[in-house]
């Protein structure tokens, strides 16, 4: 493995113990709105794969061999390090589905994350699956931010006028806000879920051409809608992506507006777990306590050619280590943890320990299925079943 990879692992390991520096996120979108292009782009920007290959959807690890084999991104989770104001943050991007198994996989991924980047095509606007993924996020008490993608098409294909740009984009934001307010009126107010470009929780850009802007980024870079319009019209999006790169703008928004596991678990545990919040385990869950009993929820099972079955999921409490015995909900069995790892691209990186608030890939949990809770507490109340919302049942005029 090349040095860059090793360094990255060390940085990730340092950050795993600092929940205030962690963001567990998913990207979700209606089909073709740009989820894959965006995910690849973020990975490219974070140094996990080369920027050149990012657009071609090729995974390129720090490992030459992986690189040569051109492994596609097909991982349950990718950890990235992003710097804001000189501080490093660990962004765990949980893979949301291939579209074949759309609903089910989105649902599972949402359980593991605390925040979602909802991608909407600037030309098409919100579509049925936008509603589905939003509903799922809100049901799991996952906070959304908005990325309006394909803004280049408004300019170069639809050829709208400059002054029309903020109006059209504003309409998309209004529409998403309407959806959120209707789906979750109470949290819209209480948790202040309103998307507001001025606040910075909306970014506008082009995943394909690798640029984005937000109100805060405009202040830093001087690149606003006028400049975006001119660069696009002039066909000079390369310079635009250098001056206002997508990964930097969007990951800044992720760090600023999506919650840490510490904040998120306070809001999410009462929704996804029906046990007694005042019990010892309840308090540990609410506080994301790494020092007590383990509570791990499996959200995906992968098959690894070397390790066999790997249970990937969210560690809500405790610290996972090799050799621990976990009770698996719904079974009389205990399974022994054989290894714990983080996943970076297609690669599992074994580590000695993973503390609460992180995403872990665990081997040895032979009795676990998707949705299982693995815990050192024998009679642990399992998490709520992961509900699969498939059809949008509401439309907004």
Which residue ranges make up the annotated binding site for GTP?
29-36, 95-99, 149-152
Q: In this complex, which beta carbon is closest to ligand GDP, that of residue 150 or of residue 348?
A: 150
388 CB-near residues (< 8 Å, 6+ apart) = 103, 104, 107
Output the smallest distance, CB 244 to ligand GDP, in A.
14
Residues 330-369 that bind ligand GDP (CB under 6 A): none
- CB under 6 A: which stretch of 150-158, 262-270, 291-299, 387-395 binds ligand GDP? 150-158
- Could you say whether residue 207 binds ligand GDP (CB under 6 A)? yes
- Report the distance separating Cα 51 and Cα 57, nearest Å: 10
Q: Report the C-alpha gap between 300 and 105 in whole angstroms.
A: 8
Helix (H) or strand (E) holding 374: strand 373-375
- Candidate segments 26-34, 312-320, 328-336, 366-374, binder of ligand GDP by CB under 6 A: 26-34
- CA-to-CA dists, residue 266 to 138, 221, 263, 351, angstroms: 15, 35, 6, 27
| Binding-site residue positions | 29-36, 95-99, 149-152
* Of 96, 149, 324, 381, the one binding ligand GDP by CB under 6 A: 149
Contact between 35 and ligand GDP per CB under 6 A: yes
Select from 73, 66, 16, 68 the least CA-distant residue to 44: 73
Nearer to ligand GDP, 106 or 112 (CB): 106
- With contacts defined by CB under 6 A, name the span among 8-16, 147-155, 268-276, 278-286 that binds ligand GDP: 147-155
Smallest distance, Å, CB 238 to ligand GDP? Answer: 14
Between strands 295-304 and 308-317, the pairing is: antiparallel
Helix axes 102-112 and 128-139, enclosed angle (nearest 10): 30
Q: Three-state secondary structure along 46-59? A: CCCCCHHHHCCCCC
Give yes or no for residue 34 binding ligand GDP (CB under 6 A).
Answer: yes
Q: Using CB under 6 A as the criterion, which residues of the chain lie in contact with ligand GDP when the complex forms?
A: 29, 31-37, 149-150, 152-153, 206-208
């Amino acid at each position: 493995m090349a040095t860059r990879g090793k360094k990255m692992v060390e940085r990730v390991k340092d950050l795993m113990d600092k929940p205030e520096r962690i963001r567990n996120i998913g990207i979700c979108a209606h089909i073709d709105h740009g989820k894959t292009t965006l995910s690849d782009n973020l990975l490219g920007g974070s140094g996990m794969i080369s920027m050149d290959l990012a657009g071609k959807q090729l995974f390129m690890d720090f490992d030459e061999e992986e690189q040569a084999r051109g492994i596609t991104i097909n991982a349950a989770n990718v950890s990235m390090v992003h710097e804001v104001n000189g501080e490093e943050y660990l962004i765990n991007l949980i893979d949301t589905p291939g579209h074949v198994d759309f609903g089910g996989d989105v649902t599972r991924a949402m359980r593991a994350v605390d925040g979602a980047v909802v991608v909407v095509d600037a030309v098409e606007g919100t579509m049925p699956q936008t509603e589905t993924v939003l509903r799922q996020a809100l049901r799991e008490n996952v906070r959304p931010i908005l990325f309006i993608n394909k803004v280049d098409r408004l300019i170069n294909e639809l050829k709208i006028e400059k002054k029309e740009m903020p109006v059209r984009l504003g309409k998309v934001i209004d529409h998403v806000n309407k959806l959120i307010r209707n789906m979750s009126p109470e949290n819209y107010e209480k948790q202040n879920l309103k998307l507001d470009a001025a606040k910075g929780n909306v970014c506008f850009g082009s995943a394909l051409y690798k640029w984005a802007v937000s109100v805060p980024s405009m202040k830093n870079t001087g690149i606003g809608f006028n400049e975006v319009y001119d660069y696009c019209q002039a066909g000079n999006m390369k310079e635009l992506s250098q001056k206002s790169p997508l990964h930097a703008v969007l990951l800044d928004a992720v760090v600023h507006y999506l919650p840490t596991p510490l904040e998120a678990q306070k809001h999410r545990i009462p929704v996804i777990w029906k046990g007694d919040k005042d019990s010892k385990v309840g308090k540990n869950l609410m506080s994301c306590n790494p020092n007590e009993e383990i509570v791990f929820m499996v959200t995906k099972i992968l098959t690894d050619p070397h390790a066999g079955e790997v249970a990937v999921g969210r560690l809500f409490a405790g610290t996972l280590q090799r050799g621990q015995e976990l009770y698996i909900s719904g079974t009389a069995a205990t399974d022994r943890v054989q290894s714990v790892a983080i996943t970076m691209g297609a690669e599992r990186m074994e580590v000695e320990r993973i503390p609460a608030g992180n995403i872990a890939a665990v081997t040895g949990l032979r009795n676990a299925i998707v949705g299982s809770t693995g815990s050192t507490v024998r009679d642990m109340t399992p998490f709520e079943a992961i509900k699969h919302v498939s059809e949008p049942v509401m439309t907004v005029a």
